[in-house]
Amino acid sequence: MNLAFISHPSCQAHRMGAHHPECPERLYAIQDRLVASGMEMLVTHYDAPAAHIDQLARVHDRDYIQTIIDTAPTEAGALNWVDGDTALNEHSLTAAFHAAGAAILAVDLVMSDRHHTAFCCVRPPGHHAGRRSSGGFCIFNNLAVGVAHALAEYGLERILVIDFDVHHGDGTEDIFTGESRVLFCSSFQHPFYPGCGADSIAPNVINLPLPRLTDGAAFKSAIRQTWLPRIDAFAPQLIFISAGFDGHIEDDMAHFNLHTADFGWITREIHALARKHCQERVVSCLEGGYALSALGRCVSTHIDELIGHL
């Protein structure tokens, strides 16, 4: 069964100014690599619907959602900043609603068994957006919206979220801390932006702070020791991935020394867990990754492993 590849044209129209690293070219690089690698033939494309405000309000305060709506410009060329890293142009609000809607559609596709796995190729990313805050290029927490949809509409009791972006998924942790139905596992460079996560104590959070220059061997060893036994015991019914590839050695947004094969390894481990526990059901949402060539290679490998040629 092939993979559901979900995106929307508005995600390419969202821009935060010249030279901003979170740019539309990220999506073009992914799409070009899928064609060049032959992976394009193994995915089914879907246009993401726009999330409804009630769906966003499961994870974000309504006052925050309204602030984003009010801040979004309507005139061409305008740029309004919602925090020091994150801006809105005239297309950003539409893109943000569709990026969150992608995760909702992904859940519906895998829970209805139309696809085992889905990849949301969207921007803006989401994992730094908390219940009441934007941050780190993120406006709404796309993955969290998908998780909340799965909990509300499908009555799931055990959802696993794995975040291997090089930056801590602080927004996702803010939203799901103390939610016993969600096990949140985040690996990240520490100390580094956003400067938190190393001292988290919530019973449903397994953070994995790692030092700068962490390589593939150290990354794999830490995950095997810290995450995998807890995940097996949790026995998830659905797995979400915050798929950030900015830990790649070619990416100058951070200081990890991971290679494309290391992202293939972690995806393969996740897919094996999904086979064991939840009928292969995995929803992956694009987060970071700013070295364009490396991003394209990593996502192609990620999708190949999610499809699972065994």
Alpha-carbon gap, residue 8 to 95, rounded angstroms: 8
Task: For the chain, give the mean pLDDT.
Answer: 97
Of the candidates 235, 294, 292, the one whose C-alpha atom is nearest the C-alpha of residue 263 is: 294
pLDDT over 90 percentage in the chain = 99
- Evaluate whether 58 touches 49 at the Cβ level (below 8 Å): no
Main-chain phi, psi angles of 83, to 5 degrees? -160, -175
Identify whether 9 is preceded by a cis peptide bond (ω within 30 of 0). Answer: no
Q: Is the dihedral of CA 108, 110, 114, 117 positive or negative?
A: positive
> 227 pLDDT band (50/70/90 cuts)?
very high
Percent of the chain with pLDDT over 70: 99
How far apart CA 310 and CA 88 sit, in angstroms, is: 43
List the single range of 38-42, 98-102, 120-124, 248-252 with lowest mean pLDDT. 38-42
Q: What does the pLDDT look like over 294-308, one tens digit per residue?
A: 999 999 999 999 998
pLDDT of residue 90: 98
The answer to whether 154 and 80 are in contact (CB under 8 A) is no
pLDDT score of 140 more than 90: yes
Q: How confident is the model at residue 310 (pLDDT cuts 50, 70, 90)?
A: very low
Q: What is the pLDDT of residues 155-194, one digit of tens each?
A: 999 999 999 999 999 999 999 999 999 999 999 999 999 9
| CA 16/CA 32 separation, integer angstroms | 22
User: What pLDDT is stored for residue 309 in this prediction?
Assistant: 59
Buried b (16+ CB within 10 A) or exposed e, 236-268: bbbbbbbbbbbbbbbbebbebbbbbebbbbbbb
Structure-token pair, residue 19: 């030279």
Average pLDDT, integer, range 110-118: 97
pLDDT tens, position by position, 198-208: 999 999 999 99
Q: Quick one: 233 exposed, middle or buried, by C-beta within 10 A (0-12, 13-18, 19+)?
A: exposed
Q: Across residues 44-70, what is the average pLDDT?
A: 98
Work out the pLDDT band at 74, boundaries 50, 70, 90: very high
pTM over 0.95: yes
